[in-house]
Structure 1
């Protein structure tokens, strides 16, 4: 199953929080710090990320063939809501599925009776399922707050600070890759999705 990002997420860590973590008080390096937050987040977020899950709310499109099985596990949780289902019929014409005919149980998509695309096109990506995934912002209280787990947020801040403080990838006299730090990996490990 191939997954594409249709709508990119908003940043899950604010510039103000990153600057406070890095103990930066002036505005002269705001663009650099924003870039480091984006780099740290993209390293672990979504279809290309190490974590195997969506962080900020984003629209993803899962593509599969008509023989997807009885239950379709949507990758990159948490799944917020289903947006649309489309498929190619036997003539190769795109059809829209009725969302009332399917149910999302956690990250599993289950048909009420049978999938609407049964007997449709046999092309590899004939079925396209769009859904919102990520940790939404809770705006029910006085001030909106992200539902992103604190450990993931802390890991992004640590990675941002590492990038800010260590602007090179090699030490004098040696050439080595810069691995993910042990504290960051330990913070993220419980949230990693392996399939």
Structure 2
């Protein structure tokens, strides 16, 4: 069972959301947002759900014996179920044969599973997932902004100096970001705790 990203998630924050002086298309800030969002979003993230709007595809080697398949919700768009028949020809299952409940595709009990090819992607469930921009949970957006800002700050050359002294001119002291990083990690964890989905 593998979930592939077909269309990458839309960003849930913009450079304008990240404090600091930078342009609306600042490449460093855009990369920091994408990296932060990647930590929590979709099949590769740690929340167990989709945040930015995206298209995903679940690959199964066969129809599930439990007659249910877990997806990364929330569902946001069309869902299709296709399979490779014994001749490796792609076929489509009618939507009358399944329904979506929460984060699961449930196959109806009256639906007889057809024979499928021997392949890791014999059954493919493709679907739109994630939130529309206006509906993104605010705690997820704030967590991404905080992580992006921290990444930008850590990437700053000055962040790693404890002090800088020029003889006869003066001394400038910088606070290392270890403590700040720990605080941010705790805040982010608190923000996201209620959004985590336990996948069994």
State the TM-score, normalized to the length of structure 2.
Answer: 0.78
Q: Report what 1:23 is aligned to.
A: 20
Q: Does structure 2 conserve the Cα–Cα contact (< 8 Å) formed by 1:82 and 1:104?
A: no
d(CA) in 2 for partners of 1:32 and 1:171? 18
1:66–1:118 Cα contact (<8 Å) kept: no
Q: Distance in 2 between matches of 1:98 and 1:86?
A: 9
- Counterpart in 1 of 2:166? none
Secondary structure at 1:103 match in 2: strand
**Cα separation, 1, equivalents of 2:63 and 2:69:** 13
Q: Unaligned regions of 5+ residues in structure 2, if any? A: 163-175
Determine the structure 2 residue equivalent to 1:193: 197
1:32 aligns with 2:17: no
Partner of 2:56: 60
Aligned alpha-carbon RMSD (Å): 2.7
**CA deviation string 1:101-136 (max 9, x = no partner):** 221111121223444643333433210000111012
Aligned counterparts, 1:79-118, within 5 A: 79-115=75-111, 117-118=113-114
Name 1:158's counterpart in structure 2.
146
Report SS of the residue matched to 2:119: coil
**Which has the larger Rg?**
2
Aligned mates of 1:28, 1:62 — CA distance in 2: 35
Q: For this pair of structures, how many residues does the alignment match?
A: 181
1:149 aligns with one of 123, 137, 144:
137
Structure 1 residue runs of 5 or longer lacking an equivalent are 138-145
| SS in structure 1 at match of 2:83 | strand
Q: What is the match of residue 188 of structure 2?
A: 184
CA distance in 1, matches of 2:107, 2:39: 34
> What is the CA distance between 1:163 and its match in structure 2?
1.2
1:29 shift after superposition: 8.0
Pairwise CA distance, 1:76: 2.0
1:73 and 1:120 mapped to 2: Cα distance?
16
Separation (CA, whole Å) in 2 of partners of 1:71 and 1:154: 37
Q: Distance in 2 between matches of 1:88 and 1:117?
A: 12
| Match for residue 125 of structure 2 among 120, 125, 129 | 129
Normalising by the residue count of structure 1, what TM-score does the alignment of the two structures yield?
0.80
- 1:90: how far off? 2.2
